[in-house]
Structure 1
Amino acid sequence: MFELLPLMLERAGVLVMVAFLLSRMRSFRQIVHQEHDKKEKMILIGIFGAFGIISNYTGIEIHNGTIISQTWQADVDYDAAIANTRIMGVAIGGLLGGPIVGLGVGLIAGIHRLTLGGFTAEACAVSTILAGFITGLLGRRYGIIGRNHSPWGAVAIGILMEGIQMGVILLIARPYEAAYHLVEVIAVPMISINGLGTLIFILIIQSILMEEERTRALQTHNALEIAQQTLPFFRQGLTLHSCGEAANIILEGTKADAISITNKDQVLAHAGAGSDHHKPGQHMATQLTKEVLDHGKILIARSTDEIRCYRENCPLQAAIVVPLQVHQETVGTLKLYFVNQNKLDQVEYELAEGLSRLFSTQLELAEAEQQRKLLKDAEIKALQAQVHPHFLFNAINTISSLVRTDAQKARKLLINLGVFFRSNLQGARHLLIPLEKEIEHVEAYLSLEQARFPDKYQVDFDIHPALNKVLIPPFTLQPLVENAIRHAFSNRKQGRVTVTAYTDSNKMILTTEDNGKGIPEPLMKSLGTETVQSEEGTGTAVWNIRKRMKEIYGLEGSFQIESEQDSGTKVTMILPLTQNKWSERNV
């Protein structure tokens, strides 16, 4: 009995060595981690079925109580039997994959044992099939294999299955005396070694689970730390300054040799290797980036040919390019570059994927914050207009001068002043208002200004009646008309402003056009994209309108400015009519 123990330990060591090598394979590790579909169950059946076959071939022949050690058991004499570790692989397969896997592994290992012969062949085949099915049921019911479970439960089941095999041999194998004597010789060694082998195998599987958990925890910690450090910058949006600071932080927190961030048009930041030709402000240097922007999916390059940089001696040999998305629209990319493709592994891929999601969320929050500020700016502008000292002072003076000479007109102006203030308050409280309300706001403003300068300008409205109820952002027409009156006609005796609204292809075209002095060329380049400082004004109103339209309508809306020196300015807004039905419920 005891001389069988070292031989059995040697055979079990072969399977444990194979199990360890198997645990280093990425495909096997992935199968261990996830739910098993049909394909993965078939793979598990094949793997552990092969374990059973190897166990059969490496078994130790027992002939009339005599131990015959051979390297390979291809055939067993009729009156002989073999001691092996077959039940270990079958039990682990069942515990890991469930009853279907357990039954499949048991059938493979059991039928193969039957083909080898010996007076215990039938008993071993039956016990192997039973062991696979029973362990599969127990594994499914109690989830014995897992990082949070003690390995001793699986060991106990392995020992129990080996004990059941001994019982089946006594029940089925004949002659009984030979079966009883065989069990006396092999029971303790087989039960002990199979229990030890099961323990080692379970510890290997649990180490896979724990290693993956530690890796994910480290990745999560790293990603969150990077996200926390970059949050103040990404909250500013995708700008040269914010992306430059963020790129340096990401470079320090990853194994990448270079970090690049782009928007849809140009490189905003590049830190690390290749900085001599990958420079901020340039158009994208790699075709790979353009593909990510077009398709919105993560792409990996493992060679310079796949990166497709225009510089032949570019040191960057591999890259992970992930999209940065805001409301499911790709607005830029984050690129992790490596000078050695071997540094690009699964850990860096998952980290890049996690950072992409975190940064996209930060950009969405930045957009939401920007929109909130814009709406707040609109409200502040409205409140400022209410108490604007010059406007209010001039309006009161005009009305006061008319009280004695034209009381009816003074009364009408007071009513219009009230309408103007009420429109300011209503616009400040709503995201969208009917077009007729915005027109009412403009007319109230004009009545007060024209009372002061009756012959300086003329404002005409050409609005299709069907469009009066269409919803538009508040404070859009009124600031544009005000800009024309204040800035366009400073050197002209008679100015004209025309406000037009009509439909075209399920969109509303809303224009404000004047015949004023036009906008200087240097100012046109930045007007509407940022606030400016000039003698004519700051451009805040135009910038605010453009940004609010982009936030509300996205790509479906547009805002265009056309101007010619000494000929006038035309502002065109295109708004989708389909937005109207949705918006009415939100006003």
Structure 2
Amino acid sequence: MFNLFILILERVGLIIILAYLLMNVHYFRDELGERQRLSTKLTLIVVFGIFAVISNYTGVEISQDRIVSDQVLMKLSEGASLANTRVLTIGVAGLIGGPLVGTSVGIISGIIRFFQGGEEAYIYVISSILIGLISGLYGAKTMRKNTYPTIKEGFMIGAITEGVQMLSILVLSRDLQAAWDLVTFIAFPMILVNSMGTGIFLSIIGSTLRQVEQTKAVQTHDVLQLANRTMPYFRSGMNEASCTEAAKIIQQLMKVSAVSITNTDRILAYVGAASDHHIASNEILTELSKEVLRTGEIREVHSHDEIGCNHPGCPLEAALVIPLKAQGKTIGTLKLYFTDATKLTFVERQLAEGLGNIFSSQIELGEIELQSKLLQDAEIKSLQAQVNPHFFFNAINTVSALIRVDSEKARRLLIQLSNFFRANLQGARTNLIPLMKELAQVEAYRSLEQARFPDRYQVDISVEEGMEEVLLPPFLIQILLENAFKHAFGSRKTDNRVWIDVRSSPDGVFISVRDNGEGIDSERLEKLGKEAVPSQEGTGSALENLNKRLISLFGESAKLHFVSSPTGTTVYCTVPYQERQG
């Protein structure tokens, strides 16, 4: 019995080795992740069918309670029996693939065993099918949970299915005494070894799949870390500075020998081994890179000659070249170099492919973001440009009226107007100006208006100390003051006051323009800043224009707010605190 135990253990070892080798095949491992598919079930039937054939032909021939042969057995002697690992292969097939796989492998194994002959071979056809069905039904339960049986469950099912084999021999055999003698001789070693083998087989599957998951988790962490750290650089555009920083991060985290990033014409960045002759700013010379740019397909090479570098003594021995794409077009390449060709494995290729897709998305998002900013900037500049004629025509009318009355004062106002529009050119070119320049524009506007309407308006300006260099959108305060002059006081000639207040707040810079005018009716108040509100003094688009600029620059939190009553109106907003540097 002990000799039989050792011999069967050797056969189980063969199956376990084959199982280990099989689990290192990527295709089979991937198939195990989709066990419900018919194609996967067919694959499992073929694989475990082969295992069943091996199990039958490598069995141990037994006759009259003694071992006759442990060689490869194509045909058994008359009256002989066979101890083998057939139950192990059928049981594992059912546990992994369910009833269809288990029963199919059982039929294959039973037919092979039947044609091997020996004592009452038909018994093993029936027992094989029963074993496949029992293990398959148990496997179906774990398949519904998308799990695998545990090692403990593998031992249990292995023992049960081998017990079914022994029971079948006793029940179906015509010679009960001979059957009993056979079972007592083979039962213990067969049950023990096959149950152990089933548990070990399942442990190999489980540990391999766990290792794959752990590897994927590590890869995902690495990819996310790389994506996070390189995102600011790739989103800022394909230029030498950003690509060099990104290449340094990629080399550091991926631990490759060198990293290169190119556009369609030249090398934008190169860091790592062979940087003495692979130099940024040079034109792309290798056919490998040109081919990837032309085809848009990833290339993997494992020799110095395939890389295509003609420099003597170049240490690079392997490379991965990944296309970088935006809007469906190849706009550059990411190249990973290895000085040891064995370091370029399937894992590195998978990781690089994923990174190439992520980097391409980052570049494309960066381009979209840049275009959006340019469009937004153009829109803001357009809105600002609309303010210039709005103020200019009013100022010219004021100066024109003064020429006949007081030519010297008109001259001074023209000089002031000239200075104002010289400063105003900056407002047409930039989205933000210092508060002190905005207040200079406000002062120029007030001077022109008070020259036109002497003693009609009184303006009080309160600015918190130290706020002179904070940045505001051009014309912000001037438009609010102009709006108060034109619309707040009606035909009233005296006691028209406007208070301008600029101070810091927890949310940024608080700007308020308040008047003691007649107020605004609720219907018009609801529309201000949202749409043009025509009036006798103009089109009513100035506040709408200003509000659009504030929201475009800073978001909804910076929009204008209007509070009005019969005793006056307050218009206020809060913009983020930014200060001019230098």
Q: CA deviation at 1:401?
A: 6.1
Q: Which amino acid aligns with 2:353?
A: E
Structure 1 residues 55-70: aligned runs within 5 Å: 55-68=55-68, 70=70
Gaps of 5+ in 2: 404-430, 432-582
Structure 2 distance, partners of 1:35, 1:310, is 50
Structure 2 distance, partners of 1:236, 1:201, is 52
Q: Which amino acid aligns with 1:395?
A: F
CA contact (8 A) 2:287 2:308 kept: yes
The equivalent of 2:19 in structure 1 is 19
1:115 aligns with 2:127: no
The equivalent of 1:277 in structure 2 is 277
Q: Which amino acid aligns with 1:323?
A: P
Q: CA deviation at 1:108?
A: 2.7
Greater Cα shift, 17-26 or 296-305 = 17-26
Q: CA deviation at 1:280?
A: 1.5
The equivalent of 1:328 in structure 2 is 328
1:166 aligns with 2:153: no
The equivalent of 1:319 in structure 2 is 319
Structure 2 distance, partners of 1:84, 1:149, is 23
Match of 1:14, SS? Answer: helix
Match of 2:162, SS? Answer: helix
The equivalent of 1:154 in structure 2 is 154
Q: Which amino acid aligns with 2:112?
A: H
Greater Cα shift, 264-273 or 161-170 = 161-170
Q: CA RMSD in A?
A: 3.1
1:7 aligns with 2:7: yes
- The equivalent position to 1:398 in structure 2, one of 363, 382, 396, is 396
Structure 1 distance, partners of 2:344, 2:129, is 44
Structure 1 distance, partners of 2:98, 2:381, is 67
Q: Which amino acid aligns with 2:248?
A: N
Change (3 A) 1:303 1:38: farther
CA contact (8 A) 2:63 2:81 kept: yes
Q: Which amino acid aligns with 1:398?
A: I
Q: CA deviation at 1:274?
A: 2.5
Q: Percent identity?
A: 45
Q: Which amino acid aligns with 2:270?
A: H
The equivalent of 1:87 in structure 2 is 87
CA contact (8 A) 1:255 1:343 kept: no
Match of 2:271, SS? Answer: strand
Structure 1 distance, partners of 2:112, 2:382, is 86
1:249 aligns with 2:270: no
Structure 2 distance, partners of 1:206, 1:361, is 35
1:348 aligns with 2:323: no
CA contact (8 A) 2:106 2:131 kept: yes
Structure 2 distance, partners of 1:148, 1:141, is 9
Structure 2 distance, partners of 1:59, 1:233, is 64
Structure 1 residues 186-197: aligned runs within 5 Å: 186-197=186-197
The equivalent of 2:571 in structure 1 is none
Structure 1 residues 27-106: aligned runs within 5 Å: 27-35=27-35, 41-68=41-68, 70-106=70-106
CA contact (8 A) 1:255 1:348 kept: no
CA contact (8 A) 1:321 1:334 kept: yes
Q: CA deviation at 1:62?
A: 2.8
Structure 1 distance, partners of 2:92, 2:318, is 40
Q: CA deviation at 1:349?
A: 0.6
Match of 1:22, SS? Answer: helix
Match of 1:170, SS? Answer: helix
The equivalent of 1:142 in structure 2 is 142
Match of 2:71, SS? Answer: coil
Q: CA deviation at 1:85?
A: 1.3
Q: Which amino acid aligns with 2:291?
A: E
Q: Which amino acid aligns with 1:184?
A: T
Structure 2 distance, partners of 1:256, 1:141, is 45
**TM-score by structure 1 length?**
0.63
Q: Which amino acid aligns with 2:393?
A: A
Match of 1:323, SS? Answer: strand
Q: Which amino acid aligns with 1:47?
A: V
The equivalent of 2:292 in structure 1 is 292
Structure 1 residues 438-587: aligned runs within 5 Å: none
1:236 aligns with 2:236: yes
Greater Cα shift, 268-277 or 181-190 = 181-190
Greater Cα shift, 304-313 or 258-267 = 304-313
Change (3 A) 1:319 1:342: same
**TM-score by structure 2 length?**
0.63
Q: CA deviation at 1:354?
A: 1.7
Match of 2:179, SS? Answer: helix
Q: CA deviation at 1:295?
A: 2.9
The equivalent of 1:268 in structure 2 is 268
Match of 2:325, SS? Answer: strand
Greater Cα shift, 362-371 or 130-139 = 130-139
CA contact (8 A) 2:149 2:202 kept: no
Q: CA deviation at 1:273?
A: 2.0
Structure 2 distance, partners of 1:149, 1:6, is 27
Gaps of 5+ in 1: 406-427, 429-587
Q: CA deviation at 1:61?
A: 2.8
Match of 1:237, SS? Answer: coil
Q: CA deviation at 1:86?
A: 0.8
Q: Which amino acid aligns with 2:73?
A: Q
Q: CA deviation at 1:42?
A: 4.9
For residues 165-203 of structure 1, what are the alpha-carbon distances to aligned partners after superposition, in whole Å with 9 as ceiling and x for unaligned?
222222322222212332232223212211100011111
CA contact (8 A) 2:139 2:149 kept: no
Q: Which amino acid aligns with 1:155?
A: F
Structure 1 distance, partners of 2:107, 2:125, is 8
Q: CA deviation at 1:240?
A: 0.6
Q: State the number of aligned residues.
A: 406
Q: CA deviation at 1:39?
A: 6.3
For residues 299-320 of structure 1, what are the alpha-carbon distances to aligned partners after superposition, in whole Å with 9 as ceiling and x for unaligned?
2122234333454654322211
Structure 1 distance, partners of 2:26, 2:395, is 83
Q: Which amino acid aligns with 1:81?
A: S
Q: CA deviation at 1:150?
A: 2.1
The equivalent of 1:564 in structure 2 is none
Greater Cα shift, 92-101 or 335-344 = 92-101
Q: CA deviation at 1:268?
A: 0.8
CA contact (8 A) 1:267 1:281 kept: yes
Structure 1 residues 176-195: aligned runs within 5 Å: 176-195=176-195
For residues 96-124 of structure 1, what are the alpha-carbon distances to aligned partners after superposition, in whole Å with 9 as ceiling and x for unaligned?
33444334422332212112212231111
CA contact (8 A) 1:60 1:67 kept: yes
CA contact (8 A) 1:58 1:72 kept: yes
Q: Which amino acid aligns with 1:166?
A: M
Change (3 A) 1:167 1:119: same
Which structure: larger Rg? 2
Q: Which amino acid aligns with 2:278?
A: H
Q: CA deviation at 1:279?
A: 1.7
For residues 309-357 of structure 1, what are the alpha-carbon distances to aligned partners after superposition, in whole Å with 9 as ceiling and x for unaligned?
4546543222111122223332222111112221110111111112112
CA contact (8 A) 1:33 1:209 kept: no
